[in-house]
Amino acid sequence: MGTDVAQTGLEMRVRLLSGHVVIMGPGRADLLMHIAQTGSIAAAGRQMGMSYKRAWALVEAMNAGFEGPLVAATKGGAGGGGAHLTALGARVLAAYRGFEAQAMLAGKCFLDELGAALAVPPGTKPG
């Protein structure tokens, strides 16, 4: 999710940090959304163009960074595995998306001002 890039030429992305560690950002939120939609960490990673290992590492980092796991996974096998958002995961995703949307609305006029002040409009090459 971002502001209207076509109008301003700028894009704002919200990342939430605890100290110097990213606890939630657009990529992590998208991964949670894809897990909720697909029921699979592997499928969610594939939809985002990331490896299974990277998707799992992000899930593990998110699960460790909150008071409880955001994603619950079951091991594969004959019946196949799967993953789903926990109640906490759904709450965290909804809160992040709400915060992100409000930040975008609040920051739009400032992005317009910053875009207008750039020497070279975004998306163009100098010279």
Query: 44 lies in which domain range?
Result: 5-116
CA distance 9 to 49: 25
**Domain presence at residue 124:** no
Hey, is 65 helix, strand or coil?
Answer: helix
**Domain presence at residue 121:** no
Given this model, what pLDDT does residue 84 score? 96
**Domain presence at residue 50:** yes
* pTM for this model (two decimals): 0.83
**Domain presence at residue 41:** yes
Q: How many domains does the chain have?
A: 1
Residue given tokens 């789903």 in the structure block: 84
**Domain presence at residue 105:** yes
- CATH (domain of 21): 1.10.10.10
pLDDT digits (tens, 9 = 90+) for 79-125: 677 999 999 999 999 999 999 999 999 988 888 888 888 877 656 66
**Domain presence at residue 78:** yes
* Cα dihedral sign, 23-50-31-108: positive
**Domain presence at residue 123:** no
CA distance 115 to 26: 22
Given this model, what pLDDT does residue 3 score? 45
**Domain presence at residue 122:** no
Mean pLDDT of all residues in 14-25: 94
CA distance 40 to 47: 11
**Residues 36, 41, 42, 47: what is their CA dihedral angle, to the nearest 10 degrees?**
40
Given this model, what pLDDT does residue 63 score? 97
CA distance 46 to 19: 30
pLDDT digits (tens, 9 = 90+) for 21-69: 999 999 999 999 999 999 999 999 999 999 999 999 999 999 999 999 9
Beta strand spans in 21-119 (E): 21-24, 71-74, 82-85
